[in-house]
């Protein structure tokens, strides 16, 4: 049983049961002035819950879960008129008996006489123990035939790179703000889409059949803006190494929006409303810094307690404007204390990534804005045989820190691509991220009622009942 907090900083307002749902309403200070309590901020926060079969307080067993919400800027679900849905899923796909498999299916979306707006995306997961994450990409007009194959083994699967939707293990449904929607249909450009499913088959089970994918709710009542998704962060490269035995190792990926005009004729500012952060098993923290005029002005997103088993789209609560010329820096912190060999950048869950998917409007024809350390500079710093030297190097706190500082200090190659894979290549340097300031604890902390209502045991339990 968890240890009871000696300082109870909340006041129970009501507790009711109705129609199989338990609803708890309580209040507590935003800044609890208690080292054992987290302050409530305007960033998304992970909530945990557990419940029993009856009113006796006993061990909850498997009746537990998590939910990520922005408590101070909660966005309620909307139900537009004339709404319907369609699914884009695998169909009776037999998952290979190997630990890591990325499967791609290129398919046509439903056709519509006029443009529709997608406003809600739900995961459709048939094997929760196998499916790690999903991505849906829009294909260019040059892709005109369906295809099903292992990802990144065919030139055709590599053509479809404009991200439309993402889902990570542990995540739930995703709502788009009422001012925007993901566009589909309504023009002569009858797009194909590529569904990418990452299967993490730890036990290498055979004969497992999967029908996972995504469900899209759409409406003919168009919203003010078309929305889109932009991939940012560190380019996933097989030569990028994270040393073993590291308590904390930082990597960086930069997006310099000043170069967007090199691939787009009519670029504009981005209004970012949600972010999904993504690493693999060694990831512990992810921060996205926002820079303007050479100075950091904000954090676009922060997860100081990143959990590989819980990856969800963060609702920022309000839009954040990224102006052309701004820089975005994705910082990922890893822990490899339990590893004895190098961890490489790659697709497997035992490899690593450092990504942040930005949901924004108005839409632009962009697929990615990322960076990676200049390999030419890296070879001159560490020697032409540096990859072999890395594998044989004795790693300790000093050598780990030296390598980390080298990767950050040298020039980076900044890559910006549109959906047709037109690419801009430039160089830049990694700026310093500031420390997130903690709110001062003052006497008479202002109390705000957190009317969670159906937050924990309605929304979260409904989700668990639906997908588990």
Each residue of 240-291: pLDDT tens digit?
Answer: 999 999 999 999 999 999 999 999 999 999 999 999 899 999 999 999 999 9
Is 419 contained in some domain? yes
Residue 463: pLDDT band with limits 50, 70, 90 = very low
268 is annotated as an active-site residue: no
Least confident of 16-20, 327-331, 336-340, 460-464: 460-464
d(CA 151, CA 166): 16
Residue 436: pLDDT band with limits 50, 70, 90 = low
Number of domains in the chain: 3
- Asked if 327 contacts 426 with a C-beta cutoff of 8 angstroms, the reply is no
> With pLDDT > 70 as the criterion, what percentage of the chain qualifies?
88
Is 2 contained in some domain? no
21 and 134 both lie in a single domain: no
On whether the pTM is more than 0.85, the answer is no
Tokens matching residue 202: 């730890």
88 and 108 both lie in a single domain: yes
Domain-ending residue, one of 199, 226, 253? 226
Query: Which residue carries 């101070």 as its tokens?
Result: 72
Q: What pLDDT does 419 receive?
A: 77
133 is annotated as an active-site residue: no
Residue 453: pLDDT band with limits 50, 70, 90 = very low
Least confident of 10-14, 277-281, 386-390: 386-390
Is 4 contained in some domain? no
Q: What pLDDT does 438 receive?
A: 54
334 and 388 both lie in a single domain: yes
pLDDT tens for 395-406 read: 999 999 999 999
Is 1 contained in some domain? no
Interhelix angle 397-409/375-382, rounded to 10 degrees, is: 140
pLDDT at 424 over 80: yes
Instruction: Say which of 198, 278, 280, 290 is annotated catalytic.
Output: 278
Q: What pLDDT does 272 receive?
A: 97
Residue 364: pLDDT band with limits 50, 70, 90 = very high
- Asked if 345 contacts 352 with a C-beta cutoff of 8 angstroms, the reply is yes
What residues contact residue 35 under an 8 Å CB cut-off, 6+ apart? none
CB-based burial label for 50 (10 Å; 0-12, 13-18, 19+): middle
**Angle, CA of 234, 238 and 239, to the nearest 5°:** 90
Is 383 contained in some domain? yes
- Please provide the average confidence, as pLDDT, over all residues in the chain: 86
pLDDT at 464 over 50: no
pLDDT at 166 over 60: yes
174 and 260 both lie in a single domain: no
Is 5 contained in some domain? no
pLDDT tens for 284-341 read: 999 999 999 999 999 999 998 888 777 778 888 789 999 999 999 999 999 999 999 9
242 and 381 both lie in a single domain: yes
Q: 3-class SS at 464?
A: helix
Instruction: Say which of 49, 102, 119, 199 is annotated catalytic.
Output: 102
pLDDT at 32 over 50: yes
CATH number at residue 129: 2.60.120.310
Is 70 contained in some domain? yes
pLDDT at 64 over 80: no
- Asked if 89 contacts 124 with a C-beta cutoff of 8 angstroms, the reply is yes
pLDDT tens for 129-144 read: 999 889 998 888 888 8
Stronger pLDDT, 30 or 129, i.e. the higher one:
129
Q: Which domain holds residue 309?
A: 232-356+363-437
pLDDT tens for 84-125 read: 999 999 999 999 999 999 999 999 988 888 999 999 999 999
DSSP string, 14-83: EEEEETTEEEEEEEEESS---TTSPPP-SS-EEEEEE--SSSS----TT-EEEEEE-TTS-------TTE
412 and 450 both lie in a single domain: no
Q: What pLDDT does 6 receive?
A: 83
Mean pLDDT, range 7-30, rounded to an integer:
84
Q: 3-class SS at 445?
A: coil
Cβ neighbours of 320 (radius 10 Å): 19
pLDDT at 462 over 70: no
CATH number at residue 258: 2.60.120.230
Is 335 contained in some domain? yes
135 and 50 both lie in a single domain: no
Least confident of 64-78, 292-306, 378-392, 440-454: 440-454
Q: What pLDDT does 442 receive?
A: 53
Q: What pLDDT does 398 receive?
A: 95
């Amino acid at each position: 049983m968890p240890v009871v907090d000696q300082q109870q900083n909340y006041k129970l307002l009501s507790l009711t049961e109705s129609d199989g749902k338990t609803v708890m309403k309580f209040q507590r200070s935003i800044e609890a002035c208690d080292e054992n309590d987290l302050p409530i901020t305007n960033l998304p926060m992970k909530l945990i819950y557990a419940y029993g079969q009856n009113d006796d307080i006993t061990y909850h067993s498997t009746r537990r879960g998590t939910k990520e919400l922005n408590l101070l800027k909660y966005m309620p679900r909307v139900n537009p008129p004339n709404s319907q849905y369609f699914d884009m899923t695998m169909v009776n796909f037999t998952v290979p008996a190997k630990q890591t498999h990325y499967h791609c299916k290129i398919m046509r979306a439903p056709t519509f006489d006029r443009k529709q707006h997608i406003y809600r995306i739900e995961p459709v997961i048939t094997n929760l123990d196998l499916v790690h994450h999903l991505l849906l990409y829009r294909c260019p007009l040059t892709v005109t035939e369906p295809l099903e194959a292992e990802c990144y083994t065919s030139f055709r699967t590599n053509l479809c790179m404009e991200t439309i939707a993402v889902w990570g293990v542990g995540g739930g449904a995703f709502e788009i703000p009422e001012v925007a929607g993901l566009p589909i249909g309504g023009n002569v450009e009858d797009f194909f889409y590529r569904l990418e499913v990452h299967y993490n088959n730890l036990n290498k089970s055979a004969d497992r059949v999967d029908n996972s994918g995504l469900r899209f709710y759409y409406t003919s009542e168009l919203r003010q803006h078309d929305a889109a998704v932009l991939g940012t962060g560190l380019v996933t490269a097989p030569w990028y190494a994270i040393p073993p035995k590291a308590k904390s190792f930082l990597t960086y990926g930069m997006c310099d929006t000043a170069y967007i005009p090199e691939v787009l004729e009519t670029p504009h500012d981005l209004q970012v409303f949600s972010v999904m952060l993504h690493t693999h098993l060694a990831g512990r923290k992810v921060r996205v810094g926002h820079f303007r005029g050479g100075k950091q002005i904000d954090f676009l997103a922060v997860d100081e307690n990143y959990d590989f088993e819980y990856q969800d789209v963060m609702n920022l609560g309000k839009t954040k404007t990224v102006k052309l010329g701004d820089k975005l820096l994705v910082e990922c912190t890893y822990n490899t204390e339990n590893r004895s060999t190098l961890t490489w950048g790659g697709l497997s869950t035992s490899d690593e990534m450092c990504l942040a998917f930005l949901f924004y409007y108005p839409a632009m024809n962009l697929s990615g804005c990322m960076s990676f350390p200049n390999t030419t500079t890296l070879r001159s710093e560490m020697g032409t045989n540096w990859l072999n030297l890395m594998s044989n190097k004795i790693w300790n706190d000093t050598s780990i820190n030296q390598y980390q500082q080298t990767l950050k200090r040298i020039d980076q190659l900044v890559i910006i691509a549109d959906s047709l894979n037109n690419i801009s290549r430039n160089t830049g340097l990694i700026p310093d991220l500031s420390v997130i300031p903690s709110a001062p604890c003052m006497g008479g902390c202002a109390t705000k009622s957190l009317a969670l209502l159906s937050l924990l045991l309605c929304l979260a339990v409904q989700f668990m009942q639906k997908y588990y």
